[in-house]
Amino acid sequence: MSNKSTNKVHISVIIIASLMLFSGLGETVVVFLTNSNVSNSSILLYILGFSYIFGGILIFLMRKWSFIISIIFLFGNIVLRIIMLFTGIYPTSTAIEIFGYIFGISFSLFFLISLIIQIKKAK
């Protein structure tokens, strides 16, 4: 494998990890600033945010095992979002909430597929 293709892999992985890290930070900050009381939905949203944060940190290790754990976090993130929707914990009464739900699932799927593609090139 040439050095140029190795650099592309590392750059794309760093971008994915950074996006996950900042998305998780953003999600936890938004939950913290908008929820004055502790509820089931706020706890679950914190879990979603922290799964992004920890998954992003693990990706920076560039190891196959860390990619696998991050993929598990992302899969759990997607499953938890779907559970929250079908149990009514995730609000869908406005267009912004529905857009946020669709965007969150799409973002998680993008990260998941990207990591699955990149895992073959990890150490």
As a residue count, the chain comes to 123
Render pLDDT for 58-115 as a digit per residue (tens, 0 to 9): 998 888 899 999 999 999 999 998 998 888 887 788 888 888 888 889 988 998 998 8
Q: Do residues 42 and 31 touch, judged by C-beta distance below 8 A?
A: yes
What is the model's pLDDT at position 121? 72
pLDDT tens across 11-47, in order? 888 888 999 999 999 888 988 887 767 777 788 888 8
User: Which residue range is the domain that position 106 belongs to?
Assistant: 3-121
CA distances (Å), 76 to each of 3, 6, 36, 51, 84, in order? Answer: 34, 29, 26, 8, 12
Give how many domains the chain has, as a whole number.
Answer: 1
User: Which whole-number Å values give the CA distances from 98 to 40, 105, 109, 112, in the listed order?
Assistant: 19, 11, 17, 21
